[in-house]
Amino acid sequence: MGSSAAISKAISVLVADSNHMQSQLLASALRRRPEFRVSSCELTHNAVLTAVAAHPTNVALMNAEKDMSVMRSLHLAHPHVRKVLLVESSNRNTVTNAFRAGARGLFCFTESPFRLLCKCIHCVHEGQLWICNQQLEYLVETVAQVPSLRVVNNNGFNLLTAREEQVVALVADGLTNRDVARELGLTENTVKKYLFHIFDKVGVSSRVELVLYAVTRGAVQNAEWVPAAMPQ
C-alpha cells in the first residue's frame, strides 16, 4: 500500500537530449532516486511530443541550449509541463531565450552538483523558478525590452507601426503565424493580414526576404505598450 502511494506521488521526469549516452546516464542516475519516475527520448519535436503523450510528464529536462525551438514547441503544446534547460554556461542570451521558450529553470552541471539537480526538479515541480541572482538580473534587464524591431528604409525613416515591428521580430525568431498569434494575443488571420501589410510596405514577397531585411536594417526597441487593434 505504502509502495503504491509512493509511486503515485512520484514526479514524472522526461530527459530529452540529442546525445544518447548523456541522456541514458542522466536518466539512470535519476532512476536511483525513488521520488522520480523517469523516461528519456531524443531531442526532436516529434520525439518529445510523442514521449509526453505516452508518459504524462511533470518536469522535462532538456539539453536544448543550441536549439530552443523544441522547448518552445513543447511549451505551446503542453504548457503545464515544467521545463528545465540543461546548459554548459548561462550567459544573457541563453537565459532570456530559455525563459521566453517556456523554461522554469536553468541548470548547469559545471557549476552545480547532481544533488542540486534533484532539488531543482522538486522546486520547478512545485511551481517555483530555479534561477540564480545573476540570471534573474538578466531577466529584469530584459523586461525593459519587448521583441520588437525598428525597421527603416534607406533614409532611416520608420516603415512599420509598433505592432507590425513586433510581428517582424517574432517572425525573425522563427515563429509560425500561429505562434506569433499566441504570443501577441491575436488571431492567426490577423497575423496574416499584418504580414500582408508588412510585405507591401517593405517591398518583399516572402518571410525569408522579410527576415533578411529586418536583420540588416532592424534595431531592438525599448519596451512600450502596443494595442492589439489591426492597422487601418
Residue-wise pLDDT for 35-71, tens only, equals: 999 999 999 999 999 999 998 999 999 998 888 889 9
Please report the domains of the chain, with CATH numbers, ordered by start residue.
2-141 (3.40.50.2300), 145-222 (1.10.10.10)
Q: What is the pLDDT of residue 232?
A: 36
Handedness of CA 141, 142, 148, 150 (dihedral sign): positive
Least confident range from 29-33, 63-67, 152-156: namely 152-156
Cell of 146: 519587448
Q: Give the mean pLDDT of 15-32.
A: 93
**Beta bridge mates, 41:** 16
Q: Show the CA angle centred on residue 61, arms to residues 60 and 63, nearest 5°.
A: 130
Q: Give the mean pLDDT of 112-135.
A: 92
Cell of 45: 519535436
**pLDDT at residue 223 above 90?**
no
**pLDDT at residue 139 above 60?**
yes
- Provide the pLDDT confidence category of residue 138 given band limits of 50, 70 and 90: confident
Could you tell me the pTM of the whole model?
0.62
* Pairing between β-strand 103-108 and β-strand 145-151 as defined by DSSP bridges: unpaired
Pick the closest to residue 168 from 157, 184, 185 (CA basis): 184
Helix (H, G, I), strand (E, B), or coil: what is residue 131? coil
